[in-house]
Amino acid sequence: MDADLLSDTFVALADTMVADFDIIDFLHMLTDRSSRLLSASAAGVVLADPRGQLRMAAASSDEAGLIELFQAQNDEGPCLDCLRTGQSVTATDLAGPAQRWPRFAAAATSAGFGTVNALPMRLRDQVIGALSLFSAGNTPLGQEELRVGQALADVATIGLLQERNVRRAETLAEQLQAALNSRVVIEQAKGRIAERHALDMDQAFRLLRQHSRNTNQRLTDVARYVIDSPTADFPPQPRR
């Protein structure tokens, strides 16, 4: 593992956690860094919605494909098992025979992934979500990588709590729903931008994020503005 990249990642994550930061933007950065650091092709954070569903909060890349993979896991899959047991779950050789989660394995294989590691996001006795790492090959994460991955999953949990009063058991539930609603706001804005500029959803997201960076505004605030204001627009500059 690249030690410089490791320290740089934790410095960058800590730098982001200033007052009133955007949780979706933060989790997006965390998944992006996780995939690079742990040599995974993609990473995603999935949260346990008390309504009874897994919901994707952020992903490093190819959001559409990963959303489908997480949605497929409402029935079965490593993330669901990880949430149920609170333990990290590794699924490898997903294209092979005799799969523990046949439908998930098929979906993962067709998305080009051979291995999935799911790491629990825990707070006290509760499991609130999972950091999921996807790679093309059949090699699961090693011991050291798992430890770093778990540390990143823990940082994601801390990010969700933000600076709020963690003594209240209710805080986490409130923050989780705030994050899920922010995700919906961003999806609605992606749709509007994609339609207006004839982009795909990934390009629309990149444009949204780039604008948020360039103007130093929270991602969710930019997304709200895009939807609420009929004239809101910014020149499309998709980076392909």
Partner 1 sequence: MNAGRPAVVWGQIAGHAAAAGQRASVADVCAVAMGPAQVSGAWVTVSGDRGPDFVMCVTDPVGEQLAELQLTLGEGPCCDVLASAAPVLAADLGDEDSGRRWPGFAAPAGRLGAGAVFAFPLSVGVIRTGVMGLYCNSPGSLSVAQLGDALILADAATLLLLDGLQHGGDGQAAAAGGLPVSGQPPDLAVHRAEIDQATGMLTVQLSVGIAEAFARLRAYAYVSDRRLADVASDIVGRRLRLHRDPGGDGAR
Question: With binding defined as CB under 8 A, does residue 195 bind partner 1?
Answer: yes
Contacts of 130 (CB under 8 A, 6+ apart): 45, 46, 79, 82, 83, 118, 119, 120, 121, 153
Measured from the CB of residue 228, what is the shortest distance to partner 1 in angstroms?
Answer: 6
State which of positions 208-227 bind partner 1 (CB under 8 A).
223-224, 227
| Nearest residue (CB) to partner 1, 135 versus 182 | 182
Which residue matches tokens 């093309």? Answer: 136
Measured from the CB of residue 189, what is the shortest distance to partner 1 in angstroms?
Answer: 6
State which of positions 63-122 bind partner 1 (CB under 8 A).
67, 71, 74-75, 80, 83-84
| Nearest residue (CB) to partner 1, 92 versus 177 | 177
Measured from the CB of residue 171, what is the shortest distance to partner 1 in angstroms?
Answer: 9
| Nearest residue (CB) to partner 1, 126 versus 139 | 126
**Contact with partner 1 (CB under 8 A): which of 2, 8, 144, 174?**
174
Asked if 211 and 222 count as a contact pair (C-beta separation under 8 A), the reply is yes
CA atoms within a 13 Å half-sphere pointing along the CA-CB vector of 97: 0
| Nearest residue (CB) to partner 1, 152 versus 176 | 176
Asked if 40 and 34 count as a contact pair (C-beta separation under 8 A), the reply is yes
**Contact with partner 1 (CB under 8 A): which of 106, 146, 166, 178?**
178
Measured from the CB of residue 181, what is the shortest distance to partner 1 in angstroms?
Answer: 5
CA atoms within a 13 Å half-sphere pointing along the CA-CB vector of 151: 16
Asked if 148 and 169 count as a contact pair (C-beta separation under 8 A), the reply is no
**Contact with partner 1 (CB under 8 A): which of 30, 54, 89, 148?**
54
Residues near partner 1, by CB under 8 A: 48-56, 67, 71, 74-75, 80, 83-84, 165, 168-170, 173-175, 177-178, 181, 183-185, 187-196, 201, 223-224, 227-228
